[in-house]
Structure 1
């Protein structure tokens, strides 16, 4: 005869059981990271730094150039219903082909693509947007690593495209996270040569951690929580 009361008590107790971790995190702000292989390399540090502060979605795919980011904006950003979007694109855009002297994405088209990305995110979500500058290239290493390819990656092109991006973001009032400055003028005891890999483009382990913490700090400012040490 005691079975039914005991079952009732158990059911009531079950209603009071704390929510699973995944459900508890449903109330956290959602952050989307979009970008090229540099983003992919620092994303794990961002996720670790924002643990308990925000849920982070970082697509497995390389974002590549601005045209490709725009093409995949629905899946990578809009459908995620983000609170914060941190994006970058630029290195792939600046591929300069030896035969024609043209860029993979011409400067005017790069500007138009960036503007379209921001405008679509703003019109279709309520997310705060952050844009990250393209990290520097060490020309000698990049040329050696890409000998025989039909294109060059040059730091002068990065500077040109970062200037375009800053102008677009200033016009659209989008905060810029200056990852280029973090690597080109790094905090002690780091040096730029130590932070950029042998291929002249990608980041070494210390740089990935440095960038990840810097990006996480910029995002924390938008979700209103103090930074981790």
Structure 2
């Protein structure tokens, strides 16, 4: 089991008693947590937007346990999920195995939900217009995810492709986005979610 210096978990489930609107769950890391507010605002009055953001990585059973816990509390109409910027101590083979387990968890705990996989975003050298070496591993992980999600007929939201040629969207650390980048990514996610929302929520 690989542990990071700081482990964190951020769960937010507003409007849980609302049975009139569809519910959307965003699963991801700090990138997801960053654009959550933009998505929540864009879908206001159309869907309840919740989040499960965490430092846990595919390969770590702790992630599966967290997802299981949140899905057991509420039925979601859409689950938009991403994982790939943490867990560098896990090999891509372990990442693949963890991805398979994650899909099994979604099928078991959210059988009626529409699944949308979001590709992991690139990492840039701080202050430079070039990618960090870890972006090569991100590409490998995205390729693994593409193979597995395509096999299952799961939709893809290509966040990597959207950001690849937009270096001005990064903050100084080369990992996180600045305000403009976060807003743009949130707008993209919102568009995808709106395209996939049904007019009526799942029966609770």
What is the CA deviation profile of residues 152-197 of structure 1, one whole-angstrom value per residue up to 9, with x for unaligned ones? 8611111111111111111121111100011113xxxxxx221111
Which residue of 152, 169, 192 maps to 1:218?
Answer: 192
Q: Which runs of 5+ in 2 are unaligned?
A: 1-14, 200-204
Bigger Cα displacement from structure 2, 214-223 vs 118-127? 118-127
Residue 197 of structure 1 pairs with residue 171 of structure 2:
yes
Find the residue that maps to 2:44 and give its secondary structure: coil
Correspondence list, 1:3-22, <5 A? none
As a proportion of its length, which structure holds more helix? 1
Equivalent position of 2:141 in the other structure: 161
Equivalent position of 2:126 in the other structure: 141
Q: For 2:38 and 2:133, how far apart are their aligned partners in 1?
A: 26
Structure (1 or 2) with the larger CA radius of gyration: 1
Correspondence list, 1:1-229, <5 A? 25-59=18-52, 61-66=53-58, 67=60, 68-93=62-87, 95=88, 104-125=89-110, 126-138=112-124, 140-141=125-126, 154-185=134-165, 192-224=166-198
Q: Which runs of 5+ in 1 are unaligned?
A: 1-21, 96-103, 144-151, 186-191
1:112 Cα deviation from its structure 2 partner: 1.6
The answer (yes or no) to whether the contact 2:122–2:138 under 8 Å persists in 1 is yes
TM-score (norm 1): 0.72
As a proportion of its length, which structure holds more strand? 2
Find the residue that maps to 2:79 and give its secondary structure: strand
Q: For 1:78 and 1:120, how far apart are their aligned partners in 2?
A: 11
TM-score (norm 2): 0.80
1:224 Cα deviation from its structure 2 partner: 4.3
CA RMSD across the alignment: 2.2
Greater length-normalized contact order (CA 8 Å, ≥ 6 residues apart):
2
